[in-house]
A and B are shown apart, each in its own frame.
Chain A
Amino acid sequence: MNVSTKIPTNGGWWLDKYGEAWKQQIEAVKSKFGGALEEVRDPWTYPTDVPIIYVKKDSLIQLLEFLKTDPAFAYSYLADYTATDEEVSPRFELVFNLYAMDRGHRIRVKCRLEEGEEAPTCISVWPGADWAEREIFDMFGVRFTDHPNLRRILMDYRWVGYPLRKDYPIDGFQLFPDAEAPDPERLK
């Protein structure tokens, strides 16, 4: 923490520095996407460090593409891509932590999903999202439409269950007698 500045909320000094820009950006996103947004949580009214934009699944890729390419936003760097299990309906939330490299702004985009619902893949926006999506599938069981190689990444390919779901037990183990052989299908 920067000790030269007091921390009023968990947004810290970011609010002083980026607050005005965030306000303008939230207004701009609201006017452009309007009905496609579910909700916008800002750091002034909700305990978060950066604004959170909840977007409907159908407009997710469109919004990410807009945030990435529009010069007023330029959130061109995918800092982190993960999911959370909220244990209510809709159950899962995809979480994008975006970073604007030129100005140092951060923002968060979320997309709610029902259990069993497929999400659109964002490999077209960031090629590096490939493994992150595989990890979300591995850990939460969220499937991605049109993902070229949606298979488990950290767990064994024979694993049963999705470990980071809240109803998954923390003890117990699954044993596999042999290692995974190289798969020529993936080397074509």
Chain B
Amino acid sequence: MTTSLRILFSVIGIISLAVCVTTPILSFVGKISFDGYLLWFNIATLVWFITAPFWMIRKKSKST
């Protein structure tokens, strides 16, 4: 995987994690409904699991 793709996935992953953190707060303060929170939290979860392995799991470099 190229470095730019890795950076892209990491940015998307971090945004999805940010959504997981902010949507409960928005639901708590009444800006979005509980169902809205559930929808966004679950979508963000899906995005996290699709993108995170590409940049969090690094292949072992060959030993010299």
Bound together: no
Enumerate chain B interface residues (CB-CB to A < 8 A): none
